[in-house]
Amino acid sequence: MIRFLLIVMLLFVCGQSQAQTVAKLTITDNLAASSKFGYGKPKPAPAKDQFEMIEDKGTQVLFYADVTPSETLPDAYRLLFTAYKLSSGKNEWVDERMLDLKKTSTYALTAVNFFDSGDYKIVITSGDNKDVVLAEGNFSIYKN
C-alpha cells in the first residue's frame, strides 16, 4: 500500500513539474511610459482590443504575459505565441513566436506586425505541447 501511495505521489509531482502558468495576458501597442526609462521589469501600457492600421506600415501589437516563476519548472522552458486571423469561422495562421524563458522569469514579451484589418486571436501555449493553452485573447485591427 505504501509503495502504491509513493508511486501515485511521484506521478503527481512529475505531472506538476512542467506546468507553466500565465497569470495575465495584456494586448497593447506600447510599454508604459514609466518603464521606458527605468531599470527592472518593463510594464505594458493599458490593454487595448482595437488598433488602428497605419497605411503601408501596418500596425505593431505587443503581447505581454505575466508568468508565474516556479522552482518546479525546468531551468529553461518555452512559450509559443501564435496569432490567428478570424475569418468565416476559421482560424487562419498569421505568425508565431517561440520564446525561451528561465524558471525565474516573471514575464514574456513579444510583438507581431499586422498588415491587414480584421479580427485576430493570440494563443499562448506550452512550447512542448501546442494542445496546452495557457492564455488567449482577441483584438481587432481597423483602417481609418
Work out the average pLDDT over 1-21: 47
* Residue of 83, 82, 89, 90 whose CA lies nearest to 116: 83
Between 15 and 110, the higher pLDDT residue: 110
DSSP annotation of 31: B
DSSP annotation of 45: P
Counting the structural domains of the chain, the total is 1
Residue 82 in domain: yes
**DSSP H or E segment with residue 37:** none
Residue 63 in domain: yes
* Residue of 123, 142, 141 whose CA lies nearest to 61: 141
Spatial distance between the Cα atoms of 37 and 40, rounded to a whole number of angstroms: 10
What SS3 state is found at 8? helix
Residue 49 in domain: yes
Residue 57 in domain: yes
Work out the average pLDDT over 96-110: 94
**What percent of the chain shows pLDDT beyond 90?**
60
What SS3 state is found at 16? helix
Each residue's pLDDT tens digit, 47-88? 999 999 987 788 999 999 999 988 888 899 999 999 999 998
Among 26-30, 72-76, 135-139, where is mean pLDDT lowest? 72-76
**Per-residue model confidence (pLDDT) at position 37:** 66
**Per-residue model confidence (pLDDT) at position 89:** 82
CATH number of domain containing 71: 2.60.40.1930
Residue 48 in domain: yes
Question: Which pTM does this prediction carry?
Answer: 0.81
**What percent of the chain shows pLDDT beyond 70?**
83
**Per-residue model confidence (pLDDT) at position 35:** 63
Q: Tell me the backbone φ, ψ of residue 39, rounded to 5 degrees.
A: -100, 165
- Bridge partners (DSSP) of residue 143 are 53
Residue 117 in domain: yes
Residue 9 in domain: no
Query: What is the spatial order of strands in the sheet that 50-53 belongs to?
Result: 50-53, 133-143, 118-126, 76-87, 90-102
Q: Is the pLDDT of residue 9 over 80?
A: no
Which cell is 37 given?
A: 526609462
Work out the average pLDDT over 32-42: 73
Q: Is the pLDDT of residue 128 over 80?
A: yes
Residue 60 in domain: yes
Which cell is 89 given?
A: 469561422
Q: Which domain holds residue 51?
A: 20-143
